[in-house]
Structures are given as structure tokens and as C-alpha cells.
């Protein structure tokens, strides 16, 4: 099983590149079998229509096969490409967000003009005339995008929309989000290495300013308040993104195990879409949505529209609660509190997370459950028996997500240890939060330590068809020492 660079694998006799390509074939076969079994159309790059698997809840095999394929393709490129060439190409990767920003933010947006032109496509000359951008320079930027499979150049200088570029068209919430990530966020990130070096500060001193702040001279949230165009688009984008990146959260966590009648305390709830889904599913559940005072009226309005009967039955309450202040809630009936912190901790550095977690203490009786839904990049598990990609998909084929969770399978070789590029969304989210908010991506050990430091006992981490995992912790019951 052991492999040394360039030396054939002892068991299979395959060199690394052949092993990667054969694994890729196995992952593609697993995905194609799903398409066949479910009578779904083939994946098309050049069509501008979404594939049925681009939204909704995917089956487990296609969820993991797409991760594996992305990870393996990237490892194949890294294996064969000249490292010198790759280093220069990768270090120029800033051109990609910049090019996306050009086609979204031009007036009118280049992406809209190309979409409107339909199958005939639009020429760079017309795009230049309508946007005022120099044609030669625009073409140079568009080449960056076509080489990454955004748009197709059907003849010299004529472009059509394809599936990857279709989500950038105005009105699509993902385009809204990308206008922020490829613009203000990416510009903030450009000074991240300077911010990380703590330039000008004595050794050991903490750098409080984020990279975003260093660049924009304002922390993220005050900056967004002053740039309302981005604020609206950012919120719209984040809400929509959840549908693509977290489709499995309502179905993949064993919610029913929490009890027949519980009160879900949703901390930093936002609109509380997941909580709403759960209250609709479990008629005896209640919820307390906690958020900043200024966020509450929009949250209430959302519930009054989307879950009128739950609001009228008083099963939900809305509480202005700063999570940096102690929670003073008391259970008033026989529905114990279950605390949930979803997509919040990844925004904050450790000290702030500790405050948030410790502030639950007054309301958390011994034995209380806390669920933390957050990104949790995988880490190497050196002692596990390795599994090939083929074995992995044979094992999970036909199984439910619950069966797969129970199997505790390692990430298959040769994707060691984290699906590689297949988990790019999660790893990039962690580092983006470093740049925007001085937070950092946390693996299972970091989360365990954080919870323990706040007197919560880590119980389990459940993978879901989501970029996030669900961490369960409990408030320990104090042991009574015998006299």
C-alpha cells in the first residue's frame, strides 16, 4: 500500500498518475450510474441551463462523487503540470476574481449582454462598444475566464453563455454574492499577508485590524452599512447559497433524537429558516430566535409570512439578545432547551467564540444539548485503513445518508486527507473569514478544545450533505463525590 513518489504502488502496481486517473474513472462511473438509475440527463458544460443535480437534495453518491471528481482532477493537474509554470499561474489566480468582477460590474454587465445574445453569442467588439471597455483589454480578460470554462468562445472574439457563467447573470443571487467576494472582499484579501505579519507591531502583540479593515479603513459590518448596495446583494447571495451548499441539513441530522417536545434556542438566528423547517416537521417543538435588536423586525416579518400558524400558536418567540451578553432564559414548561448556533462561530476568533459559548451557561441546565453547525475541514487520520475510490463508492452505493454516517468511512485514497479541491468551498470559507473578520477555519480538534474551554462536552460530529458539519455537545452533569 505504501507509495513513494514515482515508485509504483506495491499492491496495485500503479504509478501515482495512473492511480489518480483510474480513481477519477471510478468516481465518474459512480456519478454516471446515478444519472442512469435516476434517468437524469448528462452533465453539460456548454448548456446554459442548470443540471437537475445543481439544486435540491442530491443523493449521497452524487454528492460525494462530485467532490471526488473535483479533488482528483486538481491532483492530476498538480501531478503533471510543471511546478514552475503552476507556481506562476497560481500566484496570478487573483486575475480570476478580477475578471469575474469585470463581467458582473461593468455597465451594462458583460455577462448580461452575452446572455441576451443567446446561442449566436456576442462579439467582443459589441461588448466593448456597449460597456466602454477597450476591446483588446476586454478580450484579454475574457480569455482568463474562458480558460477556466466561464463562457465559451465559439469563434474568434464571439462568446456564449455556458452553465458555469449562467449563475453570474444579474438577478441571480450567486452573481450578487460574487460581486462582493470578487470585489471588496478580494481587495481586502490582497493585504492579508501584511495583516498576518503583524507589520509594525512588537512580537507577540495581537493585530486587531482585519485585512479587510486595513484595506478599506473600516471593519466589515460598518463598511457594509455604508455600502448598502453590497449589503443587500451580500444578504441575498448568502441566503441563496445555503440552498446550494447546505441542502442536507434538514434531512441528514437525526433531529428526532432531540426529543418530542423541545424548545430550540437559535442563537444568531438570522431568519431561522432551518428552525422554521423543523417546527413545521415537529408539531410539539417551540423556538426562541435570538438576534440583534435591529435584525428582529425582518425576522418576524419572514415568520409571519412563511409560518403564520406557528406564530399565531405562540410556538416561536423573537428575542433581542446580544450573544456577547449572558443569556438569561429559563425553561417554563416541560420542553427542555436545545441550543443551536448555526453558521456563526466561523465568523469569530476563539476569544469571541468562547464568550458566545460561555454566555449560554445561565440558561443551560446540566445535560442540555448544544448543536454547532459549522464548517469543519477534515484532517489526516493516519491510522485508518485506506480505502480506494472504487471501494468507497461500492460501500456507499444504495445506502442512505444515515447508513453512511454510521460507517465512519475515511476519505478515499488518493484524496488524502480532505477531498483536496473537492472541499475548496470549505477551506476557502475559513480563510476568507480570516481576512474579513480575523477568524480561522477550525477542524474537529479545534472545535473540541473550544467547546471544552467553555465547559461544553464534545459528543459527536455528523457529516451532512452540506459544506458544514453538525457538532453535538452537552453541558456536563456535575459528578457528586461520595462522602
By C-beta, is 226 or 260 nearer to ligand SAM?
226
Question: For residue 144, which of 84, 85, 70, 94 has the smallest C-alpha distance?
Answer: 94
Tell how far CA 296 is from the center of its chain. Answer: 25
Residue 200 CB neighbours (<10 A):
8
CB atoms within 10 A of CB 436: 23
Binding segment for ligand SAM (CB under 6 A), chosen from 7-15, 32-40, 129-137, 268-276, is 268-276
Q: Which helix (H) or strand (E) holds 371?
A: strand 369-375
Grid coordinates given for 205: 502583540
Q: Quick one: three-class SS letters along 161-207?
A: CCHHHHCCCCCCHHHHHHHHHHHHHHHHHCCHHHHHCCCCCCCCCCC
Determine the interface stretch with ligand SAM among 24-32, 119-127, 322-330, 451-459 (rule: CB under 6 A): 322-330
Q: Which stretch binds ligand SAM (CB under 6 A): 210-218, 267-275, 276-284, 406-414?
A: 267-275
Residue 459 three-state SS: strand
Question: Toward ligand SAM, which CB reaches closer, 375 or 421?
Answer: 375
From candidates 166, 240, 327, 343, binder to ligand SAM by CB under 6 A: 343
Closest approach of Cβ 61 to ligand SAM, in Å?
Answer: 27
Phi, psi at 463, each rounded to 5°: -75, 145
Quick one: 100 or 356, whose CB is closer to ligand SAM? Answer: 356
C-alpha cell recorded at residue 157: 472574439
Residues 6+ apart with CB under 8 A from 351: none
| Positions 222 through 251 that interact with ligand SAM (CB under 6 A) | none
Q: Which of 148, 153, 209, 322 binds ligand SAM (CB under 6 A)?
A: 322
| Among 443, 420, 469, CA closest to 27 | 420
Task: Find cell 465568523 and name the residue.
Answer: 347
* Contact (Cβ atoms closer than 8 angstroms) between residue 441 and residue 375: yes
Is there binding between residue 35 and ligand SAM (CB under 6 A)? no
Residue with cell 469575474: 100
CB of 349 to ligand SAM, least distance (A): 14
Sole binder of ligand SAM in the list 185, 213, 269, 369 (CB under 6 A): 269
State the nearest-atom distance from the C-beta of 474 to ligand SAM, in Å.
Answer: 21
Q: Which stretch binds ligand SAM (CB under 6 A): 5-13, 62-70, 278-286, 342-350?
A: 342-350
Residue among 98, 144, 295, 387 that touches ligand SAM (CB under 6 A): 295
DSSP class of residue 185 equals: I
What residues contact residue 256 under an 8 Å CB cut-off, 6+ apart? Answer: 282
Q: Which stretch binds ligand SAM (CB under 6 A): 76-84, 133-141, 167-175, 319-327?
A: 319-327
Of the pair 94, 324, the CB lying nearest ligand SAM is at: 324
Cis peptide before 108 (omega within 30 of 0): yes
Cβ 349 vs Cβ 435: under 8 Å:
no
Residue with Cβ nearer ligand SAM (157 or 237)? 237
How many residues belong to the site for ligand SAM (CB under 6 A)? Answer: 13
Position among 235, 286, 342, 472 found at the interface with ligand SAM (CB under 6 A): 342
In the bound state with ligand SAM, the residue whose beta carbon lies nearer, of 216 and 342, is: 342
Q: How many residues appear in the chain? A: 483
Residue choice 26, 291, 413, 418 for contact with ligand SAM (CB under 6 A):
291
HSE of 210, CA atoms in CB hemisphere, 13 A: 26
Q: Give the CB-side neighbour count of residue 208, counting CA atoms within 13 A.
A: 4
Q: 165 to 224, contacts with ligand SAM by CB under 6 A?
A: none
**Among 60, 157, 184, 268, which residue sits at the site for ligand SAM (rule: CB under 6 A)?**
268
Q: How far is the CB of 295 from ligand SAM (least distance, A)?
A: 4
Query: Closest distance between ligand SAM and the C-beta of residue 235, in Å?
Result: 9
Residue 362 per-residue DSSP state: G
Q: Which residues bind ligand SAM (CB under 6 A)?
A: 268-270, 291-292, 295, 322-324, 342-344, 347
Amino acid at each position: 500500500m505504501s507509495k513513494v513518489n514515482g515508485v509504483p504502488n506495491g499492491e496495485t502496481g500503479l504509478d501515482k498518475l495512473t492511480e489518480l486517473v483510474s480513481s477519477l474513472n471510478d468516481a465518474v462511473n459512480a456519478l454516471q450510474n446515478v444519472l442512469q438509475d435516476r434517468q437524469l440527463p448528462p452533465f453539460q458544460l456548454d448548456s446554459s441551463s442548470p443540471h437537475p443535480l445543481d439544486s435540491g437534495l442530491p443523493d449521497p453518491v452524487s454528492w460525494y462523487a462530485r467532490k471526488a471528481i473535483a479533488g482528483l482532477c486538481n491532483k492530476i493537474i498538480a501531478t503533471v503540470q510543471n511546478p514552475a509554470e503552476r507556481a506562476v499561474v497560481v500566484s496570478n489566480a487573483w486575475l480570476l476574481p478580477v475578471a469575474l468582477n469585470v463581467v458582473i460590474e461593468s455597465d451594462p454587465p458583460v455577462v448580461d449582454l452575452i446572455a441576451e445574445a443567446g446561442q449566436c453569442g456576442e462579439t467582443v467588439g459589441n461588448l466593448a462598444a456597449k460597456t466602454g471597455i477597450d476591446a483588446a483589454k476586454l478580450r484579454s480578460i475574457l480569455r482568463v475566464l474562458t480558460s477556466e470554462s466561464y463562457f465559451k468562445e465559439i469563434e474568434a472574439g464571439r462568446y456564449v453563455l455556458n452553465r458555469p457563467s449562467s449563475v453570474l447573470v444579474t438577478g441571480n443571487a450567486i452573481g450578487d454574492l460574487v460581486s462582493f467576494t470578487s470585489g471588496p472582499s478580494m481587495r481586502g484579501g490582497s493585504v492579508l499577508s501584511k495583516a498576518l505579519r503583524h507589520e509594525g507591531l512588537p512580537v507577540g502583540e495581537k493585530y486587531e485590524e482585519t485585512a479587510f479593515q486595513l484595506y478599506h479603513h473600516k471593519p466589515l459590518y460598518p463598511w457594509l452599512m455604508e455600502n448598502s448596495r453590497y449589503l443587500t446583494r451580500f444578504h441575498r447571495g448568502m441566503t441563496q447559497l445555503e440552498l446550494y451548499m447546505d441542502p442536507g441539513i434538514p434531512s441528514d441530522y437525526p433531529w428526532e433524537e432531540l426529543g418530542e417536545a423541545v424548545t430550540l434556542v437559535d442563537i444568531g438566528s438570522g431568519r431561522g429558516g432551518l428552525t422554521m423547517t423543523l417546527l413545521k416537521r415537529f408539531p410539539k417543538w417551540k423556538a426562541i430566535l435570538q438576534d440583534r435588536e435591529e435584525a428582529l423586525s425582518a425576522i418576524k416579518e419572514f415568520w409571519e409570512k412563511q409560518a403564520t400558524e406557528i406564530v399565531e400558536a405562540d410556538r416561536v418567540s423573537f428575542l433581542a439578545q446580544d450573544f456577547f451578553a449572558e443569556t438569561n432564559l429559563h425553561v417554563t414548561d416541560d420542553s427542555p432547551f436545545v441550543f443551536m448556533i448555526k453558521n456563526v462561530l466561523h465568523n469569530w476568533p476563539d476569544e469571541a467564540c468562547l464568550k458566545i459559548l460561555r454566555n449560554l451557561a445561565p440558561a443551560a441546565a446540566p445535560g442540555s444539548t448544544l448543536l454547532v453547525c459549522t464548517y469543519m475541514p477534515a484532517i489526516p487520520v493516519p491510522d485508518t485503513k485506506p480505502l480506494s475510490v472504487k471501494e468507497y463508492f461500492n460501500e456507499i452505493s444504495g445506502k442512505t445518508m444515515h447508513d453512511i454516517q454510521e460507517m465512519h468511512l475515511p476519505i478515499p485514497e488518493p484524496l488524502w486527507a480532505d477531498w483536496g479541491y473537492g472541499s475548496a468551498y470549505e477551506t476557502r470559507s475559513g480563510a476568507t473569514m480570516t481576512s474579513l473578520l480575523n477568524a480561522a477555519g477550525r477542524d474537529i480538534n479545534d472545535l473540541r478544545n473550544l467547546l471544552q474551554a467553555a465547559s461544553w462536552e464534545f459528543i459527536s460530529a455528523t457529516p451532512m450533505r452540506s459544506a458544514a458539519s453538525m457538532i453535538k455537545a452537552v453541558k456536563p452533569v456535575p459528578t457528586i463525590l461520595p462522602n
